[in-house]
Amino acid sequence: MPSALDRKTVVIIGGTSGLGLAAARAAVNAGACAVIVGRDGDKADEAAKSLGGGARSLSGDATDATLADKAIALAVETFGGFDALYHVAGGSGRRRGDGPLHELTEDGWNHTLNLNLSSVAWSNRAAVRQFLRQGTGGSIVNCGSVLGSHPSPEFFSTHAYAAAKAAIAGLTRSAAAYYAPQGIRFNVVAPGLVATPMSERAQTNDAIMRFIRTKQPLDGGRIGRPEDLDAAVVWLLSDESRFVTGQVIAIDGGWSVSEGQIPHE
């Protein structure tokens, strides 16, 4: 039987580590060709080599409004087409001044929204423009966060980041409604806390890890792994989800339906 992404070409913005690299492996294993994009050129090249001959890399900053256009052009030139985009790139603005609203700095706000929201707008814009030029439909999947809808005031009080992730859901739904007649689909995956380079602060904090054991109670109560998202991402990128658009799918170990900090017997 053909795999879910046979003869598909996927561009992954932020595809050289963590969630993005795991998704790139899953996409290639499902039959796709992939262009992965990351800030570190050497790391991007190494990641692409690890994926085999069906992958290429491009280095650049996701906040560059032209980066996704270049990645999509590379996909078309190298693999002969473009079928789907997964935007994973983003990050914490804590060190730049993100935090609770009364402590939030202008630089923290601007940096965090540029990194986590503007970058999504530019990559999604590039994908839509290419789909319209091709006269084809396509799939766009954006990576949100459970914090966009289910806050954690004790441990994750970065309000600009939460605002950006909530806005991704709004952008995605609005675009999904507008472009549905053209067969261009938009969806969001919203992870809980996952073990990635971005979450190192949380992973080394005993209080947060105790909280996660009850806040993410599935599978024994644990932090997520990048590969926990893979099946959903591959499905959303593929034609198997052809009748799905405008959805936010929480992949959070139960975070969004759990009180947390209540020990389980």
35 domain-assigned: yes
4 domain-assigned: no
Structure confidence at residue 43 (pLDDT) = 87
The predicted model scores a pTM of 0.96
38 domain-assigned: yes
Structure confidence at residue 80 (pLDDT) = 97
161 flagged as catalytic: yes
User: In total, how many domains does the chain have?
Assistant: 1
50 domain-assigned: yes
- Residues 175 and 186 sit within 8 Å (Cβ to Cβ): yes
- Residues 33 and 106 sit within 8 Å (Cβ to Cβ): no
Range of the domain at 14: 9-250
pLDDT in tens, the chain (265 residues): 678 999 999 999 999 999 999 999 999 999 999 999 999 888 899 999 999 999 999 999 999 999 999 999 999 999 999 999 999 999 999 999 999 999 999 999 999 999 999 999 999 999 999 999 999 999 999 999 999 999 999 999 999 999 999 999 999 999 999 999 999 999 999 999 999 888 888 999 999 999 999 999 999 999 999 999 999 999 999 999 999 999 999 999 999 999 888 776 5
157 domain-assigned: yes
Structure confidence at residue 265 (pLDDT) = 57
Q: Mention every residue, 6+ apart, whose C-beta is less than 8 A from residue 206.
A: none
263 domain-assigned: no
Structure confidence at residue 2 (pLDDT) = 73
Structure confidence at residue 1 (pLDDT) = 62
Structure confidence at residue 198 (pLDDT) = 83
Amino acid at 133: R
CATH number at residue 204: 3.40.50.720
26 domain-assigned: yes
261 domain-assigned: no
Structure confidence at residue 79 (pLDDT) = 97
